[in-house]
Amino acid sequence: MTDIEARLRDMDLRPPGDLQARALAAAASPLARPGRRLLPVMLAAILTALLAGYAALAFTSGPPAAAAGASGYGVGEGCWFVKDANGLHFHIGGWYHGLPALCTSERRDPAAGR
């Protein structure tokens, strides 16, 4: 045996006193399944994807302002979101092609009596 081999064998490497207790305690506890940790992340990802899909569909296939005629779409007539000169507003609305509708204009007719 060479000098370096003897030094490697004689190195003072003592384990911490509680190593055995820690290992036994860790083995006695239920195993955290990686799948369970991933579940909330996957749910959040699915939700985000659905929202992103909805937003994309709503913006591309929602009723355009030009199709609304002179009066535009009215609140309560199928618009959950109404975009006008003041920005984007949320209203309880209806459905358009099976999706919550996103309207790009709002009826300005005061006779609508909102």
Q: In angstroms, what is the minimal distance from the CB of 35 to other proteins?
A: 17
User: Is residue 13 a contact residue for other proteins (CB under 8 A)?
Assistant: yes
Query: By C-beta, is 31 or 88 nearer to other proteins?
Result: 31
Using CB under 8 A as the binding rule, the residues of this chain from 22 to 51 that contact other proteins are: 22-24, 26-28, 31
User: Is residue 16 a contact residue for other proteins (CB under 8 A)?
Assistant: yes
Beta bridge partners, 82, equal 89, 103
Beta bridge partners, 96, equal 99
